[in-house]
A and B are shown apart, each in its own frame.
Chain A
Amino acid sequence: LAKTTQPISMDSYEGQEVNITCSHNNIATNDYITWYQQFPSQGPRFIIQGYKTKVTNEVASLFIPADRKSSTLSLPRVSLSDTAVYYCLVEDQAGTALIFGKGTTLSVSS
């Protein structure tokens, strides 16, 4: 079973900031929070990973509160090409299997 809970879908307009929140109430001390993006007919693609506080890269930001029971992926100024399924996963560093949930389908329109 997936260890995370996230919205099934979200809609947005181009240029808006999109925040997708993920719940992981049973996250373990060794777990990292990782987000993947998947376009149709492609494999999942790593976006960002964090353990606590805030992580930012050229694609997104990840906000993790102190209790680590949830996290928020923030996509600034989305475009049509950001339409995809976004998966939130929690995993340890041991290189184990990823457990995917249903993900959040983000639809960006003009």
Chain B
Amino acid sequence: EAGVTQFPSHSVIEKGQTVTLRCDPISGHDNLYWYRRVMGKEIKFLLHFVKESKQDESGMPNNRFLAERTGGTYSTLKVQPAELEDSGVYFCASSQGISQGVQYFGPGTRLTVL
């Protein structure tokens, strides 16, 4: 069974540009989560999808971040315009609908904003 995949693995952009991160969850997983780790900090929750609906987006830092999950399969996280403080590693995770809370993480996308 394929795991959670993320694309790209690393992105380097300039301040003010737009970047879109993609996450493909494990097939059949209704729950999809985005997290990020900013340099030197803990991994922080961003938002949670159940199928195509946003269940919890309390962790989204501001309106420069837009997450979508059309069709309830893959998800994208767009940062527009990117700022220096957005640099970090963005993780995606997925879980089954009635799991015991076990989330399966992707390898992450390292975003560097110059």
Q: A-side interface residues toward B, CB under 8 Å?
A: 2, 32, 34, 41-46, 49, 91-102
Contacts and interface: CB of A to CB of B under 8 A. Distances in A.
9 contacts: A32-B101, A43-B93, A43-B106, A49-B101, A95-B48, A95-B99, A95-B101, A97-B58, A98-B33
Interface of B: 4, 31, 33, 35, 42-45, 48, 50, 56, 58-59, 91-93, 95, 97, 99-108
A94 B100 CA distance: 8
B25 to A, nearest CB: 12
A29 to B, nearest CB: 15
B100 A96 contact: no
A96 B57 CA distance: 11
B108 to A, nearest CB: 5
CB-CB nearest 7 A-B residue pairs: A43-B105, A97-B45, A100-B43, A91-B101, A43-B91, A100-B42, A44-B105
Contacts of A99: 45
A43 B107 contact: yes
Given A43-B93, A46-B103, 14 more contacts: A43-B92, A43-B105, A43-B106, A43-B108, A45-B105, A46-B104, A49-B100, A93-B100, A95-B31, A95-B50, A95-B99, A98-B33, A98-B101, A100-B42
